[in-house]
Amino acid sequence: MASACTNKGMPITKQAVHGWLLKGGLPNSEWLGTTTYAAVICEMIAAFGRGNVLPLTICPGAGQYMIQPAAQAA
């Protein structure tokens, strides 16, 4: 059964999450920046009243969650 939460239009299934737990991490596409599963998981955590978690906490080093430095004026 698919979750109501989606990542770029694709449902996140219980089977997918179970596989990530067994593997001990998110798929490589998360590290490459083509998916945002960590952000969706954070939204789910907040929706269930379990607090606020940052995507960078779930997937440290993933480029899409890194804070980009502000451009410095010359």
Q: What length is written for the chain? A: 74
Enter the pTM of the model.
Answer: 0.64
Is 58 in contact with 12 (CB distance < 8 Å)? no
Q: pLDDT tens for residues 5-23?
A: 666 666 778 888 888 888 8
Q: How far apart are CA 11 and CA 1, in angstroms?
A: 10
Q: How far apart are CA 22 and CA 55, in angstroms?
A: 19
Q: pLDDT tens for residues 22-53?
A: 888 888 888 888 888 888 888 888 888 888 88
Q: How far apart are CA 55 and CA 25, in angstroms?
A: 13
